[in-house]
Amino acid sequence: MKKLLPFLALFALAPVQAQAPQLGVAPATKTTCPASHPVKGNINSKGERIYHTPQSRSYKQTHPERCYKSAEEAQKAGFRAPKR
């Protein structure tokens, strides 16, 4: 046990990283977001994180993982705009 004490002391002194608050909110339904957060954040089959605004071509059929207040908030969360 005496040999473990210095090793265990390292964990006691290690700083605890605070977890960043999660951006966005959960979807209202399978295909809709709350009116306050209309931007849909979707992760496609390739793992790409893409956001869709109400003006996006595929907005209505997109199934969001998260919903955001704005495109800027979605970008902060790691999503990009659709390519088309």
As beta bridge partners, residue 25 has: 67
Burial of 52 (0-12, 13-18, 19+ CB in 10 A): buried
Distance CA 84, CA 68 (A): 20
How do residues 5-29 score in pLDDT, each as one tens digit?
454 444 455 555 555 578 999 999 9
Lookup: tokens for 5: 């004490």
Q: Does residue 3 form part of some domain?
A: no
Q: Does residue 9 form part of some domain?
A: no
Distance CA 12, CA 70 (A): 41
Q: Does residue 5 form part of some domain?
A: no
pTM of structure: 0.75
Q: Does residue 84 form part of some domain?
A: yes
How do residues 27-70 score in pLDDT, each as one tens digit?
999 999 999 999 999 999 999 999 999 999 999 999 999 999 99
Distance CA 23, CA 66 (A): 8
